[in-house]
Amino acid sequence: MEHDPDRLRSGVAPNVRVIQHVVLATTGALRFAQHHDGDASGENTLAAAPAAEHTLGCNLEGEGIHGESPDCDACLGSEVVAFSLSLRSDHHRQNEIIMTISDIIIHCTCPGRSSISCSVWLFRAGVVNPNDIVFGGWDISSMNLADAMGRAKVLDFDLQKQLRIHMESMVPLPGIFNPDFIAANQGSRANNILKGNKKEQVDHIIKDIREFKEKNKVDKVVVLWTANTERYSDVVVGLNDTMDNLLASLDKNEAEISPSTMYALACVTEGVPFVNGSPQNTFVPGLIELAIKKNSLIGGDDFKSGQTKMKSVLVDFLVGAGIKPTSIASYNHLGNNDGMNLSAPQVFRSKEISKSGVVDDMVASNNILYNPGEHPDHVIVIKYVPYVGDSKRAMDEYTSEIFMGGKNTIVLHNTCEDSLLAAPIILDLVLLAELSTRIQLKAQSQEKYHSFHPVATILSYLSKAPLVPPGTPVVNALAKQRAMLENILRACVGLAPENNMMLEHK
């Protein structure tokens, strides 16, 4: 492998910019709407709210009712609710002071006592309490959420019995259905469908959002796609490549506009944040252009919950340690409705694309290990095995080149409740999307504050295939994504960015 010493001699000039920020306060409740097509992760997110509110627990194999810490049960897996920060070093005890965001908000309630107290008060005003969220949404199935919960067979039966009274009144609104974009095996569920052409359906979604917002007296609406994975849409010049072409195609009822893109169009038109939790290319170029023009938040793509999150940690570690991954083989099988839908080859292709790109930036970060354009062999397999239900099996094999021509192979086996890993991520995405619409910043030389870019990179940590503004590099390394999110939250509570230098101990 050739090494270019000239690259090491290139000069780098420091560029110092002072950035000021403010978090605008929220005044009330938030409405979270989702389109879920019978997806269990969406149902479990809805189930968590009454479980926490009414102190409901589950009886697992005779271990008793988990009623002592329901808030913890409801937040396990949630980065936002269980987020912890290092405040400073305690020189007397010679350790760090670690507190969760919730602890900081509870214990520092007197603005004006210190700079931290003032900042925390601002953050407290700025973060929506999960208990203030009003839930609603659309589905192509008319089944109420209690019956859908029973059909999914994810939650413990004892917990389902306790939740039924709180969920049986939750009935989804009719949803947009286009059988060309999902597996044929989903057709039997489709009995709650919006009628009309595509323009009429988008207008109906806008009407639903407005009516729900007025009926429930909420201040903001966030919409998140938790529905089936769709096949990739064809990006065609004159169809969806620009904002004007996409809107004209909607008026013409063009077939190649997917349901998820139609929901996103409705939200962007209405100025409502829209997050895509599935891997398909919902955000075609014309839709991204429209979102930027209207400064309406969009984010995604695809929940990052298990195998991909582990991959983004392990490959980052291997490359950072000077070890060269040369082959990555990832196998999955699962038996829930997501697995059944992914059994269609054209739908699986969307998931394959989403999972495949996760190591690209880590490989590109080391030009000693990898030549330009060189990548590890990377294969993803997903199979539908009905018997295992929501208990997904993920198996990975990582083969790497090591010192003096040696080989190293790491094999992982992960069994997880697929939907229960995704459900708290849904909550996090909603809370972060809403918060990011109210964070404003400016350079010291600028007169006016401005919001984040409408393509919400703050959501990257929770997404398999992060959506970024045009021309922006994609970062998949989990540690970098976590540091970005943590330092933004630290800024919101008046804390300096964390650099882990710990010079006070050197």
How far is the C-alpha of 294 from the C-alpha of 288, rounded, in Å?
10
How far is the C-alpha of 413 from the C-alpha of 397, rounded, in Å?
9
Q: What are phi and psi of 265, to 5 degrees?
A: -60, -45
Q: What are phi and psi of 37, to 5 degrees?
A: 45, 40
Report the length, in residues, of the chain: 506
Q: How far is CA 75 from the centre of its chain?
A: 15
Which positions are annotated as active-site residues?
302, 351, 392, 464
Q: Is beta strand 30-35 parallel, antiparallel or unpaired with respect to 220-225?
A: parallel
The single-letter code of the amino acid at 276 is N
Residue 442's contacts (CB-CB under 8 Å, 6 or more residues apart) are 19, 20, 21, 448, 449, 450
CA angle 160, 278, 223 (to 5 degrees): 75
Q: In what order do the strands lie in the sheet with 173-174?
A: 173-174, 133-139, 30-35, 220-225, 274-276, 298-299
The owner of tokens 């913890």 is 72
Residue 90's contacts (CB-CB under 8 Å, 6 or more residues apart) are 96, 97
Strand locations in 142-238, DSSP E? 173-174, 220-225
Residue 228 DSSP class: P
Token pair listed for 251: 């008026």
